Amino acid sequence: MTANQKILMLLTSLFKGFTAEQAAVYDRFLADIPASLLEKAVRSLIYTSKFPPTVAEIRAEAECIYHSASGVQESDYSRAWGELKQAIAHYGYAREPHFKDPVLTETVKRIGWKSICCSPIDDEAILRAQFRDIYKSVAESGRMQKRNDNLLKDGKVQNLVKNMAGSKALESGKA
């Protein structure tokens, strides 16, 4: 039994109805999480949950713990807005800043640094709302990309798509 399997077996002893078979399925979906991190996430959720946590909840908790331990702040538009306001005051219109947060960088790129700087002060609430929406969209796209990269890393789906594309080309007479 692997370390992760032992950790997940905790759920079978603590939550009525959670079976060893479910723990085995969870293990397949959580295998990429290091055992020490998985244990912290599962224990945290055990302390706060009335029901067995889902795979998604365990992954989210593990990611949160990882970010806290590494000192990396999770994407937070209000923090990013504050950082943006400081950059406007410090750099002004002429010089474009470099942000540590890639989500903030992409958000500023999409809106445009000069557009942000030239926005009338009376329209700050509008700019902030637009910033929030774009920031959240970029953050979600990043999470989806990370999730898809993890799911596709074995190359099986890419091979399937290539094979399907080849057969479709043959069917349409393009090959």
- Kindly tell me if the per-residue pLDDT of 171 is higher than 90: no
Across 72-92, average pLDDT: 87
Question: Is the CA virtual torsion 69, 73, 76, 82 positive or negative?
Answer: positive
């889902």: which residue's tokens?
54
- Kindly tell me if the per-residue pLDDT of 25 is higher than 70: yes
Find all residues with CB under 8 Å of 105, minimum gap 6, and list them.
98, 99
- Read off the pLDDT of residues 130-160 as tens digits, 9 standing for 90 and up: 999 999 999 999 989 988 887 788 888 888 8
- Terminal CA-to-CA distance of the chain, rounded, Å? 50
Distances (CA, A) of 8 to 40, 47, 49, 61, 136: 11, 15, 15, 14, 32
Q: Which domains does the chain have, with CATH numbers?
A: 3-70 (1.10.8), 77-150 (no CATH)
Going by C-alpha positions, the residue among 73, 89, 84 that lies closest to residue 130 is: 84
Round the average pLDDT of the chain to a whole number and report it. Answer: 89
pLDDT at 68 (0 to 100): 85
- Kindly tell me if the per-residue pLDDT of 170 is higher than 60: no
Distance CA 12, CA 9 (A): 5
Enter the pTM of the model. 0.61
The token duo for 114 is 């000069």
Find all residues with CB under 8 Å of 26, minimum gap 6, and list them.
8, 11, 55, 58
